[in-house]
Structure 1
């Protein structure tokens, strides 16, 4: 039975896979699974079956569940001197960012467990059907688009490091470079692996050949994982964090992940400000937003310095903590990595918001599979106490915050973002644009953003020159970007209202939206 709906994602083929499944009668959860499998083929830097993520699911009957299948730290920690773990530099053009890769950077993957358990609970079509678009893309090949070629160029050091990955991703026309725009990416091993996985299920990954291949790789080349890490990995179902902001309700990712909690913190700080008194893009509004972001980041750092809390982020929402930071903002304001998002809503009322990450990838495939392993233990953002200081056998914290918003007019929006620490400020600004400034969703997503962290104010091109000049007087440490940039996230978003469906792929990250009518 044909199912209406809309999907937004970071690649045309990812969105097409979701639209195909909706047209085949699948629901939003079938569609988001198929889309993610396709993303693992066509967005190789941003998506992998050896990463982790979160799905915020709202069923047609109104049940809300956060499926946490993010990566887990290993149960065994190898001595640092025995670990294959080293830095590389990613070049964003305007800024450089250091990442760490190697076998010692791999955490226990959760994506496969997550997709299969969500499928068992919420799916309606066979997994073999859901995997078909991805299998065909991997086998027949996909032309590199401009955005994926750009991403490759940023992290080329990782993908040129090892012969196995060079073989798949090296350009045929420019030796020593990765695939260029228009060149075909063929992944036959990944196609074969997806075919077997779809038929045999997640046990093939966690108790079969794939787990065995990873544990051998780690034992031989300086990694931490062994068979117990795979056998004992579990998906966790959580109650979403619910925030009342103005007259809207926001559902997002709860603790132990910190992104959703910090978005909630920022919204709670802003509750006491009447934003109707501010003009969008004006210097006073941008200054307020920068200061809210600064306080949110301070709250995050202060929370992680509290050694007594296993999940420090959740305590930032305590009323007395909020008031401490809010009082500082009033004074300050008035004086003036690979992550991808897939959002789907279907005609039955099911909503799926999925955010996943592979970090940037550790540089190595799981042998014989074409699946790039994650480098989450090498992500500075995910290791706030420093590398090699992670506690064993624990869910890693994450900024990922798949979200669902219900507005006073009953319109529902599914959104989330990639972009490391920037994703929470990207989501926050889209929420403020929709709720406070009443922008249509496409304008809310494409309007310029700013990000304040570590004393540096990053400002995206597009704001009025006079507003920026005034803003920068209060923030002398700044970086102004020439236009929209993937640095500021990728909030692929969809909505459903009485007027029908709408979707917008964030142009910063090659976003595409497709409606099935």
Structure 2
């Protein structure tokens, strides 16, 4: 709201929110990470800014690379990650923000960054959600002294096991504030060729990383046309290949398009079984087709691959951290940004207050593992900032965090809105299902019959006791056909909406 009140547009606002997220949600967003920004300028062609992480050009021998496994415990499920400087890929978020600023923003970068700088220096109150998240990632953020000094509870008993900062405490990071202020003043060269770059390269060299000065200097944002498709009475714009998430959402919607979901009834046994099976067929399609590459959209969405999996859908069944920001302004500009630092590599870059990503150790981004990745290549991602342009002139901008669950979270919200006409709060808060291989997970709130049907379709079942951030966080804003603006933040990730109604 600061940027809009200062005369900025949706792109100023999304950049200000991203800067603030690096302070307020350091587990989910960092200058050391990457992401995607979908920009819809009023009266102009939309574009997708790919600012995701890029693999290094040279790989150190495994014996020299620092990569270690940690387990995060969600209570109902566990997930393994790899951390260490050897898991860091070349960050792209800073370059992406400056690219959007050059092309579309109005305000000077120091004005955009000022609230984040102030928050970092003065500290932010830790919410219940952030305290819960810090508990999940405590093995990463409390292992080493520099990170523990920022994210640990200063009131913890001396000599005892460190604990993360608690709800109601303050998270203060003045060094990060200083770095953001300098970055806004000097520009992205500071990060990719200047003092910050030198600090990243020095840490990488000394602590077992792969990043070099050449990796940082060579990083480039890639602007692409969004992936477009029709679904029901709307046009969908989302993240194109080489990212995986948008293509998988489009593929699942194409599978669902041949069925009358509204006639089935919302979250009935028939609806939930179809939704879960469409997710399962989408995973199988990715395994069949291999990693998505630029230009494969037609082969996925209009060829034999889709026909084969649509036929399978009619037959019997064969048996990780991200944040999102959506903005629409009064002039009709819209921006949808999804960014991630993975879980963070666990080590603070000296003199910056920030933690680099651990994307080389993220299974959903780099399945071969932290010691096996293609050189000098953009990693694929599930991140899928998305816009729904209705034939009635309406516009919905959304996206989600949630690792592998991003694609299924966005899929379900899109379907809830377009198939069932649910109001945005209900579409987002409805219980979700996620299928991965032979494993189905679903949230509490489904009917006993629907839950039983899902459990009977798959070899493994996890029933969650309530809504949980494991299933993503679809933060959305919407402009109705009459111009009325509304929004809704996903309660799973402590989402909020500012402005509108």
Q: Which TM-score band (shorter chain)?
A: over 0.9
CA shift for structure 1 position 69: 0.6
1:220 aligns with 2:206: yes
- Shift in CA distance, 85/310, structure 1 to aligned 2, threshold 3 Å: farther
CA shift for structure 1 position 411: 1.1
CA shift for structure 1 position 407: 1.7
CA shift for structure 1 position 516: 5.5
Stretch deviating more after TM superposition (116-125 or 274-283): 274-283
Q: Which residue matches 1:251?
A: 237
1:144 aligns with 2:135: no
Q: Which residue matches 1:205?
A: 191
- Shift in CA distance, 473/80, structure 1 to aligned 2, threshold 3 Å: same
Q: Which residue matches 2:348?
A: 365
Q: Which residue matches 1:8?
A: none
Stretch deviating more after TM superposition (55-64 or 486-495): 55-64
CA shift for structure 1 position 106: 0.5
Match of 2:486 among 502, 507, 510: 502
1-structure distance, mates of 2:264, 2:38: 32
Match of 2:11 among 25, 29, 34: 29
Give the count of matched residue pairs: 495
1:408 aligns with 2:391: yes
Stretch deviating more after TM superposition (117-126 or 169-178): 169-178
CA shift for structure 1 position 21: 1.0
Q: CA offsets per residue over residues 242-269 of structure 1, 9 Å max, x none?
A: 0101121100000000100000100111
CA shift for structure 1 position 473: 2.7
Q: Which residue matches 1:515?
A: 499
CA shift for structure 1 position 465: 2.0
1-structure distance, mates of 2:284, 2:27: 30
1:238 aligns with 2:224: yes
CA contact (8 A) 2:134 2:164 kept: yes
Match of 2:74 among 79, 87, 92: 92
Q: Which residue matches 1:417?
A: 400
SS in 2 for 1:220: helix
Q: Which residue matches 2:149?
A: 167
CA shift for structure 1 position 219: 1.0
CA shift for structure 1 position 23: 1.4
2-structure distance, mates of 1:133, 1:311: 40
Q: Unpaired segments of 5 or more residues in structure 1?
A: 1-18
1-structure distance, mates of 2:222, 2:205: 28
Q: TM-score, normalised by structure 2?
A: 0.96
CA shift for structure 1 position 312: 7.0
2-structure distance, mates of 1:39, 1:24: 19
Q: Which residue matches 1:330?
A: 314
Within 5 Å, give how 1:95-494 maps onto structure 2.
Answer: 95-175=77-157, 176-304=162-290, 315-332=299-316, 337-494=320-477
CA contact (8 A) 1:22 1:516 kept: no
Q: Which residue matches 1:12?
A: none
2-structure distance, mates of 1:193, 1:143: 21
CA shift for structure 1 position 310: 7.7
Q: CA offsets per residue over residues 300-333 of structure 1, 9 Å max, x none?
A: 1222279xx6887874334111001110001137
- Shift in CA distance, 310/434, structure 1 to aligned 2, threshold 3 Å: closer
SS in 1 for 2:370: coil
Query: Larger RCO: Structure 1 or Structure 2 (Cα < 8 Å, ≥ 6 residues apart)?
Result: 1
- Shift in CA distance, 313/76, structure 1 to aligned 2, threshold 3 Å: farther
CA contact (8 A) 1:252 1:401 kept: yes
Q: Unpaired segments of 5 or more residues in structure 2?
A: none
Give the RMSD, CA atoms, in angstroms. Answer: 1.6
